[in-house]
C-alpha cells in the first residue's frame, strides 16, 4: 500500500516546461486527475489490423526490444513498443509488481496517448517528440502515479514519428540509467530502419574509431548515385559537424575519393574502406550498394502517411488519393505555390503499384515553349537541325510503366494541350519526325496553382483536356490554413539537426501568413538554424532580417486596414445620424462589428 501522498507538485512541474505543457494539454483534453483511469483497449481484431499496418516497423523493432530486455531484465519493468498514436503494439517483461489494472493497460491494444492517459512518458514523448521520463506524481492521472516510465520517440529517415520505445514499472523500480539505455535502443532501431528504406542507394556507415563500427553509434550516410544525400543519422551529422545532410562532395575530401570510386568498390559486395572526411578526419567505413527494396518495410513506409501530420484537409486528401492508387485515375493537385504539390505527387507515386518504375516530373512553366514539345514527346534521329543523332525518348516515354507528373499544367501552350490529349486518349505516342507510334502506359498526375476552370472559361485551357486530367482533384491547403503547422515545423527542425524553437518564435511562425508556404518556411528555418550556430534553441533573433521585415509590414498593413475600417464605420454612423442598424446595413457588416468599432 502506498502511504505517500501522490499529487502533482506544481513547483516541480514549473521546472520542466515539457511536463508543464503536458499537464496543460491533459487539462485541455478534459481529463480529471482524480477519476479512475479509463484504459482504452482495442479488440484483438483491431489490434491485429494495426500490427499488420505497422508490420515493417514492428518486425525491425522486435530484436532491438529483446536486447533491451536483457539489459534491464532485473529491473521488474515492462518494455513497450507503441505506434505514433500511442497504441501498444508489443510488450515484454516482468509485470508482477504491477497492479492488475496496469498489467492490462500495458498489454498490446492499449492506448497511452495523452488524450486518454494525460501526462505519461509514451503520450508525452509522442506529443513533445522528445525522450522523457515521467516519474510517479509527475503523471497527470492519480491512477498512474504509482508508475515510473521512460520513453524515447523513434523517427523514420524523413523525420516522421513512427512510435516510441518505453520502459514502465512500479515507481520504486526507477533507475536513472533507463532512459540512456532506451536511447541507445532507439538509435539502433532508427539505424536498422534507415538501412531498409532506400534502394538504388549507396550506404556508407562509418566512425572515426573502428571499434564503434556496427554499434548504434556508427554514422550512416545514404547517397543516390549522383552523390545527393538522401539521409543521414544523428551520429553522421555529429561527426561531420553538419546541421543537415550534405552532398557527397561536401562530406568527403573529394581529392581522396570520388563517389564513383566507392560505387565501383561496392557494386557487388560491401567494401571495407578508410575514407577522409571533408575536415581531414580519417574514418573506418563500410560502403554498401542497396539495389533491392526491402519488402518488410515497404508496407509500413507509406509515403502518403508521412505527409499526414494532423491537418484535417490533408488527412482527407490522403484518404481519397490512397483509394484510387493503381486504378488508372488521373489526379489533379491544386494549391498555392509551395504548398507541397510536388511532394504529394512523389508520395502518391512511391505508394503506388508502379513505385519501382520512373517518376518523371516536367515543369510546363519553366521549359521554353519551343522545347516543351521535344522534351515531352521526344524526337526521332535527325528530326530537326541540332537534334541528337540518336534521337531523344522524351519524358512521356521515360515515364512508361511509372508516373508522369506534369507540374504547372495550366501553363502548357494550347497547341501542345491538343497533342497531350491525343496521347492520353490513344495511349500511344509518335515522337517528332518519326512515323512509328509507341504504346505507352503510365499513371498521370498534374498540378497547378492556377484556377483551371477559369482558364477554360477564358479559352486558355482546353475543356476536353481539363476533363481528361481530373479524375480526382485535390486541393492542398496553404500553410496559413494548416492545423498541424507546429508539427510540420518540428519535423523540419528535426531534419535540420534537432534544434528547438522558442515559444515566442513558434508563436510568430503560427501567426504569420506564409505567402511562400512550405518553401518559404523551410528556407526561413534553415537560415535561422545556421545563424543560431551551436545554440540549441532557435529564437526570433535568429530569423533572417527580411522575414522579420515582412512580418512587421504585415502587422502595419493589418493596423492600417483596421484604421481604415474604423474610419469607414464612423463615417457610416454619422451619415446615418447615429443609427447603428442602418450603418451596419449600408456597410454589409453585423451590428456587433459596428458597435465594437464605433
Ligand atoms: N508537408 C510538408 N512537410 C514538410 N515540407 C514540405 C511539406 N510540403 C512541402 N514541403 C517542402 O516545401 C517545398 C515546396 O514543396 P513543393 O515543391 O512540393 O511545392 P509545390 O506546391 O509543388 O510548389 P510549386 O507550385 O512552386 O511547384 C519543398 O522543399 C518541400 O520539401
Nearest-CA residue for ligand 1 atom 23 is: 338
pLDDT at 55 over 90: no
Instruction: Output the average pLDDT for the chain.
Output: 85
Look at residues 262, 229, 267 and name the one whose alpha carbon lies nearest to residue 248: 229
Contact of 247 with 320, CB cutoff 8 Å: no
| Alpha carbon distance 563, 86 (integer Å) | 48
pLDDT at 282 over 70: yes
How many CA within 13 A on the CB side of residue 347? 21
Cα(403) to ligand 1 centroid in Å equals 18
pLDDT of residue 6: 39
Q: Which atom of ligand 1 is nearest to the CA of 407?
A: 27
pLDDT at 186 over 70: yes
pLDDT digits (tens, 9 = 90+) for 135-144: 999 999 998 9
Q: Which atom of ligand 1 is nearest to the CA of 307?
A: 1
pLDDT of residue 386: 60
Beta carbons within 8 Å of 536's beta carbon, 6+ residues apart: 499, 500
Cα(484) to ligand 1 centroid in Å equals 15
Q: Which atom of ligand 1 is nearest to the CA of 339?
A: 21
Cα(337) to ligand 1 centroid in Å equals 8
Cα(160) to ligand 1 centroid in Å equals 16
**How many Å separate Cα 80 from the centre of its chain?**
24
| Alpha carbon distance 462, 459 (integer Å) | 7
Q: 310, 485, 518, 526: which to mutate for ligand 1, most atoms within 8 A of CB?
A: 518
Q: Which atom of ligand 1 is nearest to the CA of 346?
A: 18
Cα(343) to ligand 1 centroid in Å equals 6
Grid coordinates given for 573: 454612423
pLDDT of residue 4: 36
Nearest-CA residue for ligand 1 atom 7 is: 340
Look at residues 226, 222, 227, 224 and name the one whose alpha carbon lies nearest to residue 204: 222
Q: What angle do CA 208, 211, 217 make, to 5 degrees?
A: 70
Sign of CA dihedral 458, 464, 469, 472: positive
* Grid cell 540518336 in the structure block, residue: 390
**Mean pLDDT across 427-451:** 89
Look at residues 157, 149, 154 and name the one whose alpha carbon lies nearest to residue 185: 154
Contact of 60 with 296, CB cutoff 8 Å: yes
Q: Which atom of ligand 1 is nearest to the CA of 343?
A: 18
pLDDT at 345 over 60: yes
To which H or E segment does residue 331 belong? strand 331-334
Can you give the length of the chain in residues? 598
pLDDT at 280 over 60: yes
| Alpha carbon distance 575, 582 (integer Å) | 9
Nearest-CA residue for ligand 1 atom 29 is: 519
pLDDT class for 147, splitting at 50, 70, 90? very high
Cα(489) to ligand 1 centroid in Å equals 13
Cα(518) to ligand 1 centroid in Å equals 5
Q: What angle do CA 57, 206, 250 make, to 5 degrees?
A: 105
Of 37-46, 466-475, 489-498, give the lowest mean pLDDT range: 489-498
* Cβ burial, residue 517 (10 Å; 0-12/13-18/19+): buried
pLDDT of residue 307: 85
pLDDT of residue 3: 33
**Mean pLDDT across 576-587:** 80
pLDDT at 34 over 50: yes
Q: What 3-state class would DSSP assign to 268? A: coil
pLDDT at 589 over 80: no
Nearest-CA residue for ligand 1 atom 5 is: 518
Between these two residues, 430 and 84, which has the higher pLDDT value?
Answer: 84
pLDDT of residue 525: 92
Cα(591) to ligand 1 centroid in Å equals 42
For the chain, percent of residues with pLDDT exceeding 90? 40
Sign of CA dihedral 258, 264, 270, 272: negative
| Alpha carbon distance 389, 185 (integer Å) | 56
Between these two residues, 381 and 176, which has the higher pLDDT value?
Answer: 176
pLDDT at 573 over 90: no
Nearest-CA residue for ligand 1 atom 18 is: 340
Pairing of strands 229-232, 219-223: antiparallel
Cα(519) to ligand 1 centroid in Å equals 6
Sign of CA dihedral 289, 292, 296, 301: positive
Nearest-CA residue for ligand 1 atom 15 is: 340
Between these two residues, 158 and 477, which has the higher pLDDT value?
Answer: 477
Q: Which atom of ligand 1 is nearest to the CA of 344?
A: 18
The DSSP secondary structure of 28-39, one letter per residue, reads HTT--TTSPP--
**Mean pLDDT across 355-374:** 84
* Grid cell 517518376 in the structure block, residue: 359
State the DSSP code for 366. T
Q: Which atom of ligand 1 is nearest to the CA of 476?
A: 21
pLDDT at 40 over 80: no
To which H or E segment does residue 271 belong? strand 271-276
Beta carbons within 8 Å of 264's beta carbon, 6+ residues apart: none
Cα(446) to ligand 1 centroid in Å equals 15
Cα(344) to ligand 1 centroid in Å equals 8
Contact of 419 with 380, CB cutoff 8 Å: no
The side-by-side arrangement of strands in the sheet containing 201-207 is 229-232, 219-223, 201-207, 282-290, 271-276
Q: Cβ < 6 Å from ligand 1: which residues?
A: 307, 335, 337-343, 407, 449, 488, 492, 518-519, 522
pLDDT digits (tens, 9 = 90+) for 297-334: 434 457 888 788 878 899 999 999 999 998 999 999 99
Contact of 242 with 258, CB cutoff 8 Å: no
How many CA within 13 A on the CB side of residue 410? 19
Taken in order of first residue, the domains within the chain and their CATH numbers are 10-191 (3.30.450.40), 196-295 (3.30.450), 302-475 (3.40.50.300), 479-543 (1.10.8.60), 551-597 (1.10.10)
pLDDT of residue 95: 66
**Mean pLDDT across 418-426:** 90
pLDDT digits (tens, 9 = 90+) for 528-570: 988 888 887 888 888 988 888 888 877 665 565 566 667 777 8
pLDDT digits (tens, 9 = 90+) for 187-242: 999 999 998 888 888 999 999 888 788 888 899 999 988 899 999 998 999 899 88
pLDDT class for 462, splitting at 50, 70, 90? very high
Q: 331, 343, 411: which to mutate for ligand 1, most atoms within 8 A of CB?
A: 343
Q: Which atom of ligand 1 is nearest to the CA of 335?
A: 21
Cα(516) to ligand 1 centroid in Å equals 10
Grid coordinates given for 575: 451619415
State the DSSP code for 112. -
| Alpha carbon distance 311, 321 (integer Å) | 15
Q: Which atom of ligand 1 is nearest to the CA of 345?
A: 18
| Alpha carbon distance 311, 482 (integer Å) | 6
Cα(500) to ligand 1 centroid in Å equals 22
pLDDT of residue 1: 31
The side-by-side arrangement of strands in the sheet containing 88-93 is 88-93, 77-83, 161-170, 147-155, 132-135
pLDDT of residue 556: 64
Cα(561) to ligand 1 centroid in Å equals 31
pLDDT of residue 295: 36
Q: 337, 342, 483, 514: which to mutate for ligand 1, most atoms within 8 A of CB?
A: 342
Nearest-CA residue for ligand 1 atom 26 is: 337
Cα(409) to ligand 1 centroid in Å equals 17
Nearest-CA residue for ligand 1 atom 11 is: 518
Q: 519, 523, 527: which to mutate for ligand 1, most atoms within 8 A of CB?
A: 519
Cα(342) to ligand 1 centroid in Å equals 6
Look at residues 214, 350, 339, 213 and name the one whose alpha carbon lies nearest to residue 283: 213
**Mean pLDDT across 112-118:** 92
pLDDT digits (tens, 9 = 90+) for 385-407: 665 555 577 899 999 999 999 99
| E strands, 66-121, in order | 77-83, 88-93
Q: What 3-state class would DSSP assign to 348? A: helix
Q: What 3-state class would DSSP assign to 125? A: helix
pLDDT class for 2, splitting at 50, 70, 90? very low
Amino acid at each position: 500500500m502506498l502511504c505517500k501522498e501522490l499529487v502533482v507538485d506544481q513547483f516541480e512541474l514549473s521546472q520542466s516546461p515539457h511536463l508543464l505543457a503536458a499537464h496543460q494539454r491533459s487539462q485541455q483534453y478534459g481529463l480529471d486527475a482524480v477519476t479512475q483511469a479509463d484504459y482504452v483497449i482495442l479488440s484483438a481484431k483491431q489490434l491485429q489490423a494495426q500490427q499488420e499496418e505497422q508490420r515493417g516497423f514492428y518486425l525491425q523493432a522486435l530484436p532491438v526490444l529483446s536486447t533491451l530486455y536483457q539489459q534491464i531484465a532485473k529491473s521488474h519493468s515492462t518494455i513497450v513498443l507503441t505506434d505514433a498514436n500511442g497504441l501498444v503494439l508489443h510488450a515484454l517483461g516482468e509485470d508482477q509488481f504491477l497492479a492488475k489494472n496496469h498489467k492490462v493497460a500495458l498489454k498490446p491494444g492499449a492506448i497511452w496517448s495523452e488524450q486518454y492517459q494525460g501526462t505519461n512518458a509514451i503520450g508525452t514523448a509522442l506529443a513533445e517528440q522528445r525522450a522523457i521520463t515521467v516519474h510517479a506524481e509527475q503523471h497527470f492521472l492519480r491512477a498512474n502515479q504509482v508508475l515510473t516510465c521512460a520513453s524515447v520517440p523513434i523517427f523514420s529517415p524523413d523525420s516522421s514519428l513512427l512510435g516510441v520505445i518505453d520502459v514502465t514499472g512500479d515507481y520504486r523500480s526507477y533507475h536513472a540509467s533507463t532512459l540512456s539505455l532506451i536511447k541507445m535502443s532507439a538509435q539502433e532501431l532508427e539505424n536498422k530502419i534507415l538501412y531498409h528504406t532506400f534502394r538504388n542507394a549507396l550506404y556508407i556507415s562509418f566512425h572515426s574509431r573502428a571499434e564503434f563500427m556496427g554499434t548504434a553509434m556508427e554514422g550512416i550516410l545514404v547517397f543516390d548515385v549522383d552523390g545527393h544525400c538522401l539521409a543521414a543519422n544523428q551520429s553522421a551529422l555529429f561527426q561531420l559537424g553538419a546541421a543537415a545532410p550534405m552532398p557527397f562532395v561536401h562530406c568527403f575530401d573529394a581529392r581522396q575519393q570520388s563517389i564513383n570510386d566507392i560505387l565501383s568498390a561496392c557494386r557487388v559486395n560491401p567494401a571495407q574502406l578508410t575514407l577522409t572526411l571533408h575536415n581531414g578526419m580519417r574514418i573506418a567505413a563500410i560502403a554498401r550498394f542497396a539495389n533491392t527494396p526491402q519488402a518488410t518495410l515497404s508496407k509500413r513506409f507509406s509515403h502518403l502517411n508521412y505527409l499526414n501530420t494532423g491537418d484535417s484537409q490533408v488527412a482527407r486528401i490522403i484518404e481519397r488519393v490512397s483509394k484510387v492508387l493503381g486504378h488508372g485515375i488521373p489526379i489533379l493537385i491544386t494549391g498555392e505555390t509551395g504548398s507541397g504539390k510536388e511532394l504529394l505527387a512523389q508520395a502518391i507515386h512511391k505508394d503506388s503499384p508502379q513505385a519501382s518504375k520512373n517518376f518523371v516530373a516536367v515543369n510546363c512553366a519553366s521549359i521554353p515553349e519551343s522545347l516543351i514539345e521535344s522534351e515531352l514527346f521526344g524526337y526521332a534521329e535527325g528530326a530537326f537541325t541540332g537534334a541528337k543523332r540518336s534521337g531523344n525518348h522524351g519524358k512521356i516515354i521515360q515515364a512508361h510503366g511509372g508516373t508522369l507528373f506534369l507540374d504547372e499544367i495550366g501553363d502548357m501552350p494550347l497547341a501542345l494541350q491538343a497533342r497531350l490529349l491525343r496521347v492520353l486518349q490513344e495511349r500511344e505516342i509518335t515522337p517528332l519526325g518519326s512515323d512509328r507510334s509507341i504504346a505507352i502506359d503510365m499513371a498521370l498526375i498534374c498540378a497547378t496553382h492556377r484556377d483551371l476552370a477559369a482558364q477554360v472559361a477564358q479559352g486558355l485551357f482546353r475543356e476536353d483536356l481539363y476533363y481528361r486530367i481530373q479524375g480526382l482533384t485535390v486541393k492542398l491547403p496553404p500553410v496559413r490554413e494548416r492545423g498541424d503547422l507546429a508539427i510540420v515545423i518540428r519535423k523540419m527542425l528535426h531534419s535540420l539537426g534537432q534544434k528547438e524553437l522558442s515559444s515566442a518564435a513558434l508563436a510568430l511562425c503560427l501567426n504569420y501568413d506564409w505567402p511562400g508556404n512550405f518553401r518559404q518556411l523551410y528556407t526561413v528555418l534553415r537560415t535561422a538554424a545556421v545563424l543560431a550556430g551551436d545554440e540549441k534553441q532557435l529564437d526570433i533573433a535568429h530569423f533572417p532580417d527580411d522575414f522579420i521585415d515582412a512580418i512587421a509590414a504585415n502587422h502595419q498593413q493589418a493596423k492600417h486596414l483596421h484604421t481604415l475600417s474604423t474610419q469607414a464605420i464612423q463615417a457610416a454612423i454619422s451619415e446615418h445620424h447615429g443609427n447603428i442598424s442602418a450603418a451596419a446595413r449600408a456597410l454589409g457588416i453585423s451590428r456587433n462589428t459596428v458597435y465594437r468599432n464605433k
